[in-house]
Structures are given as structure tokens and as C-alpha cells.
Amino acid sequence: KIGIKCSLSKRRPQVLKNEANGKVQQPAVPRVRLSSRSSDYIVEDLVGNGAFAKVAKCVKSATKEMVALRVVKIHTKSDLQREHEILLKLRYFNPDECNFVKWHCSFMYKRHLCQEFELLDMSLREFVTMRPTRSLHLKEIQTILYQLATTLEVLKRLQVAHCDLKLENIMLVDHVRQPLRVKVIDFGSACNASNIAHGAYIQTRWYRAPETILGLPCSEAIDMWSLGCIAAELFLGHPLYPGSCEYQMRQFMIQTQGQLPGYFLSAGLKRSLFYWRTWKYVDLQETTRVWRYSISI
């Protein structure tokens, strides 16, 4: 049960929620105190700032343990329940062996979900940025991919798709003492693969699978596509498909992978955004209907 009431201590220079506009505020001021029934947290620094959540580096007052506190603005109860159920499923697996972030607990503050996780070092994006070429050696990439493939294998067993695998959501545990040791974070977009709606707007664009773009039925395999894009980016030093829109993404994919079979295109809910259907002349007695790309390649 995660409906634990919590409040902010009166000793605070800044509140977590702006009472005027109802928006989540960044707990960026040092020594902000956040209290739940079970623990008090003192914010040390803001270490993450995403579209739907902020992540603060905190120290637990009682134990002096450093943790990461993720503060999420919840839009619907289903959003809250979906992620919580997935985190509960992951508890049956060892996070150190399966390479995903360890979740400790969750509690609510009004419409804010606060999640306590183990504190990790830096994102893979930050790590590669430290390299002059923004790329890694092949053996380094192999080490990272093996760990991520282990995580995806666990998610497949659970029939769960992460839906947002990218460099920013892969963290190094300790880039000095445990070089190349990584863990997957941010299960806020994750869901049961069978519940992914056709045409759903999921995955970050550069790592978005063809079936997601075209509105085809999706499975856990969309994460494997993202993993392939990550592998290429780590080697090249730049994104494999840096499209500014889905049209450009399809162009890049066709240039490198070729065209999809017609029966795949026929099943795509968003195919009309990229293709139009016409007749192809075969011989004097026969013509056939084919899909043509609507943008020059």
C-alpha cells in the first residue's frame, strides 16, 4: 500500500508544490526538508529534471543514507497504479544481478508521487559526453550491452516493455570504482506489453521502433530496437537515426534497413502519414497494388 500521508516540514525555504499554480517545483534549494511518516529527507541537490519528474539527491535523517528521491506529478490513478505494479514485479528479481535501479519505497504528497531509489552516479549520456569523441571502445560497448540485455530478458519474462530506453535512462553505478557497471532507471513509461495501444505515442524519437512509428502491434521487442540504436550511438559517437520528426526517422530507416514488406504496412494504423497506395504494372495481363513512400528519400 503506498497511500502514505506525508508533508513538508515547516523548516523549509521552498515548498515542493506551488500553491498558486499547482505545478511541481524543483527542490533546488539545499537543506529543504521533506517528511513522510517513516522518514525525513534533506535535499542535497537536484540531479534530474525531466518532463514528468524531478530527481533530488537526498540524505535520510535517521540513517544518514544517501538516496535518490523521484518526485512525479500524477495525472491519473492508472498512471500511479501501472508503474507501482511493475516496480512490485521487479522486486522478485535481484536488481544488482538484473541491472535495474533498486526501489525502496513510495509515498504520496497530495498529487505528487515520491519514490525512493538507490542513488546512482551519472547517466550514460553524461559519461559519453566526457569522451572527446563521444564514443566508446567496442569492448566497453559489449560490456554495457550484456548488462542491458540481461535487464530486457527479465522484462520479457514479466511481459513488460520499458518503452523509454535511451542513454539518459541508463545510469552508471560508480564510474570510478565500478567502471561500466550500469543500471536501467525510470519505469514511468513502462507497461504490460499486451496493453500497448496500437498507435500509442511512446519511446523517445531517436530510439523509436518502426512498429511504434507506423502504429503496428507492439511487444517487448520495441526495447530491443532501442538497444540496437543505443549500441550504434555508443560506437559512432552520434545518434544512429537523428530524425527531427517521424518522417525523417522513416527515411533514415529505409536508407539503412530497406522497405518494410507490404503486409506490414497494410496493418499500420499510421501508414497513411508516410505512404500512399497505387497500382504497379507487372505485365500485359497483371497489375498489383503496392505502397509508395510519400516523401522523397
Binding residue per annotation — 54? no
Sequence-ordered list of residues with C-beta below 8 angstroms from that of 279, at least 6 positions apart, any chain: 287, 288, 289, 290
Amino acid letter for position 53:
A
At residue 295, φ and ψ (nearest 5 deg) are: -125, 140
SS3 8: strand
Q: Which of 79, 164, 223, 283 is catalytic?
A: 164
At residue 109, φ and ψ (nearest 5 deg) are: -130, 100
CB 115 within 8 A of CB 70: yes
At residue 250, φ and ψ (nearest 5 deg) are: -65, -40
Kindly report the number of other CB atoms within 10 A of residue 50's CB atom.
14
Computed on alpha carbons and rounded to an integer, the radius of gyration of the chain in Å comes to: 22
Instruction: Report d(CA 67, CA 285) in Å as an integer.
Output: 72
Does residue 223 carry a catalytic annotation? no
Q: Residue positions in the annotated binding site for ATP?
A: 73
Q: Residue positions in the annotated binding site?
A: 73
Active site residues: 164
